[in-house]
Structure 1
Amino acid sequence: MKIDEIICSRRKTLALQINSEGKLIVRAPYRMHQSFIEQFISQKKEWILAKQAQAITRHQSRQTLKHRYLPGEKFRFLGHDYPLCLVVASKEGKTRLAKKLRLCDQGFLMLEQYQHQAKKLFVEWYQNEAQVFFENQVKAYAEKHQLTYREIKVGHARKRWGSCSSQKNLNFSWRLMMAPIEVIDYVIVHELAHLAHLNHSAAFWYQVKQMMPDYAVHRQWLKSYGHQLELLE
C-alpha cells in the first residue's frame, strides 16, 4: 500500500492519518524501522481503504459544491436551499433593497453592483443570523435544563462545530446556519452538556440523551453531510 508521506517526530506511538484528498500520512517516532511501519499498515489495510474511499467521496462532493455567486445558484439556510437573485438598481441608483444582501420568499436578494464581494456578504450575513439564532436557542435550552453559561461567540471554526470552555463560554461556527435546525440544536445541546461534564464520558452522553433523546440521528447527519456546510470557490 502506498504511503504518501511519513512524518517523524519525538512521539512514542505510530499513527495513521487520511487527509482530505485521501492520501495516507504516517506519523512515526524517530528511528522506527520501515518494516515495522509497513507491518502496521498491513494490519490496518481495511480501515485505510475505507477512510480513503470516504475522503475521496467527500473531496469530489466539495468540488461540485463550489460557488460562483451567479443568479439562480442555491445557498442553504437552516437546511433549505434558496436561489440567489441579483437586483439591478435604476439609473438614478434607486432600489427597494435596503441591504446589500437579504433573504426573502424569492430567495437571497443581492445588489448586482456588489456581486464581486458576494462571498464576504454571505459570510457576514450568516454570522449575523448565527449570533441571533444561537443567543435565542441556547438561552431556551439552558433555561429548560437549568444550566448557566457566560458568553456566546460565533466564529469561523472549520474543524469544530462548537466548543465549551472551562469558564463556561460557548463558541459556535456560523457554518452551522446551513444545517437543519434539529442538527444545530444537537450541537447546542452537546456544548451545554459540557457545562456539567468537560469530557465525553458516559455521564456526558447520558446528559445529552436526557436533553435530546434522538441526538444520535443528528450527530450522524453532521458526520455524513457536515462537509457540505461551506462556501467554496
Structure 2
Amino acid sequence: MARKVSTRKKPSRDKIVLNERFKIESEVFDKPTLLSLMRIMQKGVINRMEYPISTGKEANVFLATTPSEQSVAVKIYKIETTHFLRRKEYLEGDPRYKKFRGRERDLVFAFAQKEFKNLQICERAGVHAPRPLFLEKNIIVMEFLGREGRAYPVMSTVGPAEGDLESILEDMRKLYRAGLVHADLSEYNIMVWEGPPYIIDWGQSVALGHKRSEEYLERDIYNVLKYFAFFGLYRDPKAILAWIRE
C-alpha cells in the first residue's frame, strides 16, 4: 500500500524559509524562555534558531542549527498557557511525579522534563522516536525528523505505507516492556517518510504505575487500529492487547 503523493506544485525551499522566518519574528517569547534559549546557545548546543516547523496549544517546535551546521528540532513549551491545567492527570497519576506540588509554571517545566525522560526511555528501548539531546527548563532540543529544512509529514496528511502498522505495534510493545504507554497515540503524532514511522509528542506519556495506564494503552490500540482499518488493514484489538502485554 503506497502513500499518495500530491500532484500539486510544492513551494520552493527558499519560499518556505522566507515565510517561516517571517513567522518566527511574530512569535512572542517570554523573558524566561529567551534566557533559557541564551543559555542553550552559550553551552554550544545550538548557535541559531531558524523558523517554526510546528505550532500547537502547548508548545511550538522550531528548526535550529548546531555549531557544526546540523539541523535539530527545538520544542518550546509555552509558559503562559492554561492548557496544562487540563492535563495534570497525566502528571499527577504518574508515580515518577507523585510528589509534584508546583505552580502552573512548574507544571510546564515538569511536562518538558517528563517528555525528555520519556524520549530517553524510547531511545534505550529502540522505539522509533526523536533522539533527545538537551533539556533546559521548558525547552527540549531533539533530533530533527526531516530533510533539507522540511519536517517529515504526519501520517494523517499522507496516509500509511506497507509495513507501517506492524512497525507501530512493535514500537508499542517495546514501549510497554520498557514500562511506558504513549497515552495519546494516533495518526496525528506519527511522522512518516522513507523507512519506519516515528512516534512524536511524548509529554503526556505515562509509566505503567499510573492508575490509568492500561486504559490509555487500550485507547492507543483502538485509535491506531481504527485508522488503519480505514485502509483495509484489520487487527483484533483484544489479540493485539494480549500480545503487547506478553
TM-score category, normalised to shorter length: under 0.3
TM-score of the aligned structures, taking structure 2 as reference length: 0.26
TM-score scaled by length of structure 1: 0.27
- Structure showing greater radius of gyration is 1
Q: Choose between structure 1 and 2 for higher RCO, CA contacts under 8 A separated by at least 6 residues.
A: 2
